[in-house]
């Protein structure tokens, strides 16, 4: 259980600050994470890795010569935002391009992918590599949907060594992908983990049982079995991984050499791991496999989860040389690397936010109404934070409530600041979206950011509705962040939209059918952005299941009902659709692996969307409050 906390929302930031203070000679902090404190040879490919907090030593603990050049650090079990990733990548770049490495989770795919797009737009050669080692989360004949768990260590270690060896970006990416294709992992849990500030674990394992096939974000396993002896646990891990031996070893010539990681998940002690490793080593030898430089210990944890995982990577000569190459990081050392001079460059300019665009009088008034709406969003999310977390814990990692709260609070504050600087509606939403992304991260951060960006682009900053910031789509870091945040901002955007809608109903946001139609177009643009960026469709059990019916009903009712009544109808449709997701099996995201487990429980993203649009319904008590009254 996570016991020593202050404000749970500050846990990740405080943990990173303490880590940086403890390892000041090896790493330096930048916006969004850490980079090496030592200088790197010019022209060397930079490897930037990352993921959520709660997995130490992954990911910041792997930064150093022979491994990663930088790590982007998100909140607990949440991917870092694209703006954070871009910031770390800029600070790590040595002129040879950058490879972004991460576990294969929906939020990480969205944020790292958006970051790569932004970096390429800035002229940097940026590639991505998603680790897919978990055999419990996808079939052997289709590894692409599989999660990245402890195999992150093995694959990213080889990738970092490839960059250290001087390989160009194409060759380094090939080495990393070959390592990923040759890597398989499986985990066992004996007890769940507890998020900072929570009063109970995300899942429990009955006495005398163990959970098989768990994730590293507090997700439960896909099956429960009787608790075995250490030897029988080792046999289960070896047998299930070696069932894929032929496929995993095919890309390395059917090798009989393996890299091994026996990984503790946070509460299983080293002596227990060594008892298990004794049997694993015996079994692998009996199978004719030679273990090369095994690693036993904690390398990618899940807060205080009781459990362990086994990872095997089949090796050819190239991969073996990279696996055994020297490395010097705070959490992993092998061999000897000559001391390097410290880097002396300025790291304070790697993060750039979109500029404030002055708006016309009418657009500024709408921006103020949107800022007030975001205060309503914030209060709505805070009120329902526990409910959203509980819904997310059914088949996910339980952080949807706290993530939404972080995002909504940051968005509301950023919107008020933009209004004070004279921003128009488009820029208000762009800044709110960027802030939401920074603080929320995760899949919801990416999706809501894209929606808020598109919503603001339709409204614009000028009184004729033109000149919208575009949500920061092209705005350097802020653009990327804007997307992500906007993602989260989608709630905002939607919320903001509603708010705008509410404002429209009161005459503050505009007048007449033309303004209502424009707001409806903004909603449709926001929903389309979520569909495009996230890839989900109705029936996948995501926020899309509530957002699409909302936009459809709004457009259908608007011509005859007027905006306020149409919004109310649309909000009811969203609520009904959100509740209906209880009968759907998840097909995307972290809940996909545990889709059946989620039957009977509605999707938290759809529920949060429905709650927000309901709170922003024109004429409702929440929506009628002014920004001053809500502050």
If you write DSSP's letter for every residue of 470-501 in order, what string do you get? GGGTTSHHHHHHHHHHHHHHHHHHHHHHHHHH
Of 37-51, 145-159, 440-454, minimum mean pLDDT range: 440-454
What is the arithmetic mean of pLDDT over 264-269? Answer: 96
* Residue 82 or residue 321, greater confidence: 321
pLDDT bin (cut points 50, 70, 90) of residue 596 is: low
DSSP state of 38: B
**Of the candidate ranges 144-153, 172-181, 426-435, 442-451, the one whose mean pLDDT is the lowest:** 442-451
- Mean pLDDT to the nearest integer, 162-173: 98
d(CA 528, CA 534): 10
Quick count: other Cβ atoms within 10 Å of Cβ 227?
15
The H-or-E segment that residue 289 falls in is none
560 C-beta neighbours (distance < 10 Å), count: 8
Query: How many residues does this entry show for the chain?
Result: 631
| Per-residue tokens: 405 | 């709260």
> What share of the chain in percent tops pLDDT 70?
87
Q: Is the pLDDT of residue 245 over 90?
A: yes
Cis peptide before 59 (omega within 30 of 0): yes
Instruction: For tokens 């090896």, name the residue.
Output: 26
Q: C-alpha angle with apex 357: 351 to 361, nearest 5 degrees?
A: 150
Within 13 Å of residue 343, how many CA atoms lie on the same side as its CB?
23
Average pLDDT over residues 574-600: 76
Whether residue 631 is predicted with pLDDT greater than 60 in this model: the reply is no
Q: Give the DSSP H/E element, type plus range, for residue 225.
A: strand 223-226
Kindly tell me if the per-residue pLDDT of 477 is higher than 60.
no
Mean pLDDT of 90-108: 95
Average pLDDT over residues 390-419: 87
Catalytic residue among 31, 55, 111, 217: 217
Per-residue confidence at 349, pLDDT binned at 50, 70, 90?
confident
Lowest mean pLDDT, pick from 37-51, 146-160, 340-354, 361-375: 340-354
306 or 514, which is more confident?
A: 306
- Which helix or strand (DSSP H or E) is residue 221 part of? none
Task: Give the integer Cα–Cα distance in Å for 559 and 561.
Answer: 6
Tell me the pLDDT band of 42, cut-offs 50, 70 and 90.
very high
What number is the average pLDDT over the span 181-192? 96
Question: The whole model's pTM is what?
Answer: 0.79
Confidence of residue 350 (pLDDT cuts 50, 70, 90): confident
Please tell me the predicted confidence (pLDDT) of residue 234.
98
Per-residue DSSP letter, 358: B
Residue 503 is predicted with a pLDDT of 37
Tokens of 31: 């916006």
Name the phi and psi angles at 513, rounded to 5.
-65, -30
Cis peptide upstream of residue 57 (ω within 30 degrees of 0): yes
Q: Are 623 and 373 in contact (CB under 8 A)?
A: yes
Separation between Cα atoms, residue 313 and residue 291, nearest integer Å? 10
For 495-533, write each residue's pLDDT tens digit. Answer: 333 333 333 333 333 345 668 888 999 999 989 988 887
CA terminus-to-terminus distance, the chain:
35
* 469 carries an active-site annotation: no
Summarised one tens digit per residue, pLDDT across range 100-133 is 999 999 889 999 998 998 899 889 999 999 999 9
The one-character DSSP state at 356 is P
What pLDDT, on the 0 to 100 scale, is given for residue 139? 93
**Given this model, what pLDDT does residue 594 score?**
52
107-139 CB burial, b ≥16 within 10 A, e <16: bbbbbbbbbbbbbeeeebbbbbbbbbbbbbbbe
**CA distances from residue 538 to 106, 396, 606, 610 in whole angstroms, order as listed:** 17, 19, 11, 15
Q: What pLDDT shows up at residue 513?
A: 64
Q: What is the pLDDT of residue 393?
A: 82
Q: Which residue has the higher pLDDT, 439 or 198?
A: 198
Determine the pLDDT at residue 588: 61
**Res. 260 pLDDT band, cuts 50 70 90:** very high
User: What value does the mean pLDDT of the chain take?
Assistant: 87
Strand partners, 71: 34, 49
pLDDT over threshold 90, residue 368? yes
pLDDT reading at 165 higher than 90: yes
- Give the highest mean pLDDT range of 213-217, 269-273, 448-452, 458-462: 269-273
Paired tokens of 239:
């047998």
Give the integer Cα–Cα distance in Å for 433 and 480: 10
Nearest-angstrom CA–CA distance, 91 and 63? 13
Residue 29's contacts (CB-CB under 8 Å, 6 or more residues apart) are 16, 17, 20
Q: Which of 134-143, 224-233, 428-437, 618-627 has the lowest mean pLDDT?
A: 618-627
Tokens representing residue 88 in the block: 């770390």
The distance of Cα 366 from the centroid of its chain, to the nearest Å, equals 31
pLDDT of residue 354: 61
CB 151 within 8 A of CB 311: yes
**pLDDT at residue 346, as a whole number:** 87
């Amino acid at each position: 259980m996570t016991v020593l906390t202050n404000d749970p929302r500050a846990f990740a930031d405080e943990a990173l600050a303490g880590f940086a203070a403890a390892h000041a000679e090896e790493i330096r902090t930048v916006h969004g994470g850490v980079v090496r404190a030592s200088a790197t040879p010019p022209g060397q490919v930079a490897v930037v890795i990352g993921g959520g907090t709660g997995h130490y030593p992954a990911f910041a603990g792997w930064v150093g010569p022979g491994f990663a050049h930088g790590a982007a650090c998100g909140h607990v079990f949440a991917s870092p935002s694209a703006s954070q990733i871009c910031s770390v990548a800029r600070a790590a770049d040595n002129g040879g391009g950058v490879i972004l490495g991460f576990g294969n989770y929906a939020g990480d795919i969205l944020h790292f992918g958006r970051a790569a797009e932004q970096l390429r737009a800035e002229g940097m050669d940026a590639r991505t590599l998603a680790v897919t080692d978990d055999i419990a989360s996808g079939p052997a004949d289709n590894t692409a949907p599989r999660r990245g768990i402890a195999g992150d260590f093995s694959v990213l270690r080889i990738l970092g060594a490839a960059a250290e060896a001087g390989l160009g970006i194409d060759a380094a990416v090939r080495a990393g992908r070959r390592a990923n294709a040759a890597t398989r992992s499986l985990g066992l849990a004996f007890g769940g983990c507890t998020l900072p500030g929570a009063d109970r674990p995300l899942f429990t394992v009955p006495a005398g049982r163990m959970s098989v096939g768990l994730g590293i974000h507090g997700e439960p396993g896909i099956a429960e079995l009787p608790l075995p002896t250490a030897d029988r646990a080792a046999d289960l891990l070896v047998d299930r991984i070696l069932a894929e031996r032929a496929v995993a070893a095919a890309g390395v010539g059917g090798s009989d050499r393996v890299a091994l990681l026996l990984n503790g998940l946070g509460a299983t002690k080293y002596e227990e791991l060594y008892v298990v490793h004794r049997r694993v080593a015996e079994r692998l030898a009996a199978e004719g496999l030679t273990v090369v430089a095994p690693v036993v210990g904690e390398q990618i944890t899940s807060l205080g989860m009781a459990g362990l995982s086994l990872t095997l990577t089949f090796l050819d000569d190239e991969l073996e040389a990279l696996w055994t190459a020297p490395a010097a990081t705070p959490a992993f050392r092998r061999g000897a690397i000559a001391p390097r001079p410290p880097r002396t460059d300025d790291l304070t300019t790697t993060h750039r936010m979109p500029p404030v665009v002055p708006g016309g009088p009418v657009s500024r008034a709408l921006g103020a109404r949107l800022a007030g709406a975001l205060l309503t969003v914030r209060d709505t999310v805070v009120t329902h934070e526990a409910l959203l977390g509980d819904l997310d814990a059914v088949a996910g990692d339980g952080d949807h409530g706290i993530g939404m709260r972080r995002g909504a609070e940051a968005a509301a504050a950023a919107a008020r600041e933009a209004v004070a600087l004279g921003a128009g509606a488009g820029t208000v939403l762009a800044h709110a979206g960027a802030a939401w992304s920074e603080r929320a991260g995760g899949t919801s951060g990416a999706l809501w950011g894209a929606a808020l960006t598109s919503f603001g682009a339709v409204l614009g900053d000028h009184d004729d509705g033109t000149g919208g910031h575009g949500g920061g789509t092209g705005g350097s870091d802020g653009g990327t962040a804007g997307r992500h945040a906007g993602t989260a901002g989608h709630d905002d955007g939607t919320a903001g939209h509603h708010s705008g809608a509410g404002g429209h109903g009161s005459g503050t946001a505009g007048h007449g059918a033309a303004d209502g139609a424009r707001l409806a177009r903004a909603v449709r643009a926001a929903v389309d952005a979520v569909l495009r960026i996230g890839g989900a469709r109705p029936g996948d059990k995501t926020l899309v299941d509530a957002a699409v019916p909302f936009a459809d009903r709004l457009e259908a009712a608007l011509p005859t009902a007027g905006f306020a009544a149409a919004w109310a109808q649309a909000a009811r449709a969203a609520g009904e659709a959100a509740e209906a997701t209880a009968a759907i099996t998840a097909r995307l995201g972290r809940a996909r692996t545990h889709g059946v487990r989620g039957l009977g429980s509605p999707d938290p993203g759809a529920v949060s969307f429905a709650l927000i649009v309901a709170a922003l319904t024109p004429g409702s008590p929440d929506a009628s409050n002014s920004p001053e009254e809500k502050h």
